[in-house]
Chains A and B, each alone.
Chain A
Amino acid sequence: MSKNAKILLNGLVNENPTFVLLLGMCPTLATTTSAINGLSMGVATTFVLICSNIVISLLRNLIPDKVHIPAYIVVIASFVTVVQLCVSAYMPALNDSLGLFIPLIVVNCIVLGRAESFAAKNGPVASMMDGIGIGLGFTYALTLLGMIRELLGTGKVFDVTIFSEDYGMLVFVLAPGAFIALAYLIAVVNKIRNK
């Protein structure tokens, strides 16, 4: 397996940010009330992650060590703001479903974490692959969690009714359900990884 493919897979399974690294718990728990919300948050984060990884990897030798965190934050925040402005200007429909989550990405520790632990030490291509891998890992984890919570809570998945809402367990839409569902998902992932 080539080096880049390995980096990509790494983010999906072995270093999955949600199930293994347990990074970015705040957006994970808060935005996965429905499958589409989880997916939107994942996609938005992936985009910012890829861009910031590439740019930080290019700039890595121009930024002195002692000021790297403020420098990374400025880069990430700029990307997020650009994305937010463009989405609200040119894709108002997307903005309605996603707009809430975009500013949250700035404080998502996955983005800063990958900048710090990967992009600052590797070249732009490898950093891009890392961004894609970690981003997709985050996206599928959030989508999965969102689907489970939406199904158990309201009887729907992606707004398609599976069973009547009257049988839904409301707790899964609320915060405690997020913890419960996430814990079971992590247990399952651990079981699979330990085989």
Chain B
Amino acid sequence: MERLQSNLKNMALSLTLIALIAAGILGVVYALTKEPIAIAEQNKQNEAINLVLPENDRIEQIKAEVEINGQNDSLKVYRAFKGDQLVGYAVETMDPKGFNGEIRFMVGFDAEGNIKDYSILKQGETPGLGAKMNDWFKAGKKGQIAGLNPGKNNMIVKKDKNDKGQGEVDGITAATISSRAFLRAVDAAYRAAFSSSDNAIAADAATGATKTDGACDEAGEKTPAADCCAEAGQDAQTTAEEA
């Protein structure tokens, strides 16, 4: 068979046909895979949530507005209950300024704000350097953050200083930008879970509404944490249920 001549009719016809067929195939494949993709993503997320949360029998999801790098963003906060007791939070947190763009991970706190564990959902950091964040900050590793509390500990890398003094976390060797982004995201997660006012009250409800230490005193004036101190006296239990 001879190759079709390049006249206008042939060109328009063949391109249109190819594009239509391609579009048709893509449409069908998209429709077929839409549900499995959603399920797969959900599974991944659930695995991450279960990894970072303490034992629980009920999880409820809320959204919390929080400031990340000067922009307001809303993070998904998962609150875990055992019976009626709030036992922990999992926050899907992110920072847009990793070394290679956005990093996104799930981090878990117990009811007092101590970090339990984390699980990276998405990162594009340099392999061999920033990509070590996959397990660098886990329990038993060099940069362990498990057990630390962003409300009490100064969660920045050791070589950095802020108004609270020297940082307490060992950053990834030769990947300070990645480490900083990671720790900023942890901080954002903590603020999302504890500082926005009704969440903080929910936390109070879980810890018996005692407010002797931690988040409010040390979180500084810029965060909404100041509000939570003022409102701590309210009927915490009902507010928590409304939230």
Contacts and interface: CB of A to CB of B under 8 A. Distances in A.
Interface of A: 33-34, 37, 59-67, 70-71, 74-75, 77-78, 81-82, 85-86, 88-90, 92, 95, 100, 150, 153-154, 168, 170, 173-174
Contacts of A85: 29-30, 33, 37
A61 B29 contact: no
16 contacts: A33-B128, A61-B3, A63-B3, A64-B5, A64-B11, A67-B6, A74-B19, A75-B18, A81-B26, A85-B30, A88-B33, A89-B36, A89-B40, A100-B124, A170-B174, A174-B129
Nearest to B22: A78
Interface in B20-47: 22, 25-26, 29-30, 32-33, 36-37, 40, 43-44
B126 interface: yes
B2 interface: yes
Nearest to A82: B29
Contacts of A65: 3, 6
Nearest to A78: B22
A63 B25 contact: no
Contacts of B22: 74-75, 77-78
Nearest to B33: A89
The 8 closest A-B pairs by CB, nearest first: A89-B36, A173-B128, A89-B33, A66-B6, A33-B127, A78-B22, A64-B6, A92-B40
Contacts of A70: 15
Nearest to A172: B128
Contacts of B25: 78, 82
A65 B3 CA distance: 8
A158 B19 CA distance: 41
A64 B3 contact: yes
B4 interface: yes
Contacts, number: 87
B14 A90 contact: no
B239 interface: no
Interface residues of B, number: 31
B83 to A, nearest CB: 33
Contact of B127 (A34, A75, A89): A34
Given A61-B1, A64-B14, A170 B40 contact: no
A168 B129 CA distance: 12
Nearest to A32: B127
B145 to A, nearest CB: 21
A103 to B, nearest CB: 13
Nearest to B34: A89
Contact of B18 (A59, A60, A61, A100): A59
A29 B19 CA distance: 32
A64 B7 CA distance: 8
> Which of A64, A71, A100, A153 is the most central at the interface, judged by chain B CB atoms within 10 Å of its CB?
A64
A60 B36 CA distance: 35
Contacts of B37: 85, 88-89
A173 B30 CA distance: 36
B3 A67 contact: no
A85 to B, nearest CB: 4
Given A75-B22, A92-B44, A61 B128 contact: no
Contacts of B33: 85-86, 88-90
A34 B128 CA distance: 9
A65 B14 CA distance: 11
Contacts of A77: 22
A67 B44 CA distance: 43
B40 A63 contact: no
B4 to A, nearest CB: 5
B10 interface: yes
B6 A174 contact: no
Interface string B174-187: 10000000000000
Given A61-B4, A85-B29, A85-B37, A173 B129 contact: yes
A163 B36 CA distance: 41
A71 B17 CA distance: 10
Contact of A173 (B4, B44, B127): B127
